[in-house]
Amino acid sequence: MGKIKRIGVLTSGGDAPGMNAAIRGVTRTALYYGMKVTGIRYGYHGMIHNDLVEMKANSVSNILARGGTILKTARSKEFMEAEGRKLAYENLKAAEIDAVVVIGGDGSLTGARVFCDEYYDIPFVGIPGTIDNDIYGTDYTIGYDTALNTVVEAVDKIRDTAGSHNRLFFIEVMGRDAGFIALSSGIACGAEAILIPEVHGQVSNLKEYLQKDFKRNKSSNIVIVAEGNESGGAFAIAESVKDDFTDFDVRVSVLGHIQRGGTPSAHDRVVAGKLGFAAVEALMDDQKSVMVGYHNNEIDQVPFRKVIKLKKKVDPDHLQMVEILSI
């Protein structure tokens, strides 16, 4: 065995279904290779406040089907400060943790990078875990597939009632900065329009665009709105257009936190298990400050530097495709 004797593992930022499969992947791979594993509860908060738990093989039994994260998660303001990170470093040293695997979104990976720039002797490897799928360097983030399926199921149900009552529905989905969930769920559900944070000026075209559908008497119209859309959320947009569609009942549904929960999909579990395994292997190969990602069905290592600096882009051509497919 190499110089790493003990690995710390944590989940940070928003929880995402499949994080448990990643924790399991990290824990069992490290144990298999003769390392010890410490679970750090509540992300960076637990690192600063010494909330540590010894992980055995059975600590991760029967968790694959559970949403959320058994290690809990948090957002830590203290870790944003040098003083907080110093405390975290001292705690890792005292607990004899030689390396850390961080499972979280771009904020969590940014925190890992900042820490590694200050303290060189504890390598960090990241695993992309967020329902938003907005991390550069990986085709999938853990939790995205499950969240997408949850949205699709909900929108299908809303479509049934929308069609029965001639309703125009504005459905708000998660995505403060990224439209991946909105775009893919819109394609999957045949939405008439999709409003995403990455594209500007969409609402001004919306009335004219939807009027076309109304002229040909569609029995329902669904507009998917990513929460970070520039014109506000679904309620604000519905309010601004409702007088133009007096023949239709305009309704709003905000899907909210149901999008984070639930049993992880098979896809999320597979990706999470593979990335958990790969993260430990990366540490054993002396890698540091990298994220393990999933690219064209292969596991890749991407430096934190790139992950943080570069932005994963939605393909705006897909919006035009949605227009065509909903004629």
Two tokens, residue 60: 């991760």
Give every CB contact of residue 289 below 8 A, 6+ residues apart in sequence.
Answer: 112, 113, 116, 123, 124, 303, 304, 305
End-to-end CA distance of the chain: 61
* Strand pairing category for 249-254 and 167-173: parallel
**Smallest distance, Å, CB 14 to ligand ATP?**
3
CA distance 155 to 65: 24
Binding stretches for ligand ATP (CB under 6 A): 12-14, 44, 75-76, 79-80, 104-108, 110-111, 114, 130, 132
CA distance 267 to 139: 12
Q: Which is nearer to ligand ATP, 4 or 116 (CB)?
A: 116
Two tokens, residue 264: 């992880």
Please give the DSSP secondary-structure letter assigned to residue 142: B
Q: Which is nearer to ligand ATP, 108 or 229 (CB)?
A: 108
**Smallest distance, Å, CB 30 to ligand ATP?**
22
Q: Which is nearer to ligand ATP, 90 or 160 (CB)?
A: 90
* Strand pairing category for 298-303 and 290-295: antiparallel
Q: Which is nearer to ligand ATP, 144 or 169 (CB)?
A: 144
**Smallest distance, Å, CB 293 to ligand ATP?**
15
* Catalytic residue check, 244: no
Do residues 320 and 203 lie in contact, with contact meaning Cβ atoms separated by under 8 Å? no
Q: Which is nearer to ligand ATP, 51 or 106 (CB)?
A: 106
Which amino acid is it at 206?
A: L
**Smallest distance, Å, CB 241 to ligand ATP?**
30
**Smallest distance, Å, CB 181 to ligand ATP?**
12
Nearest CA to 221 out of 200, 242, 198 is that of: 242
Sign, CA dihedral 112-118-120-121, equals negative
Do residues 218 and 193 lie in contact, with contact meaning Cβ atoms separated by under 8 Å? no
- Residue number with the smallest Cβ distance to ligand ATP: 107
Beta pairing partners, 127: 103
Buried b (16+ CB within 10 A) or exposed e, 81-106: eeebbebbbebbeeeebbbbbbbbbb
Which residue of the set 15, 106, 132, 268 is catalytic?
132
Q: Which is nearer to ligand ATP, 221 or 259 (CB)?
A: 259
By annotation, the residues acting in catalysis are 132
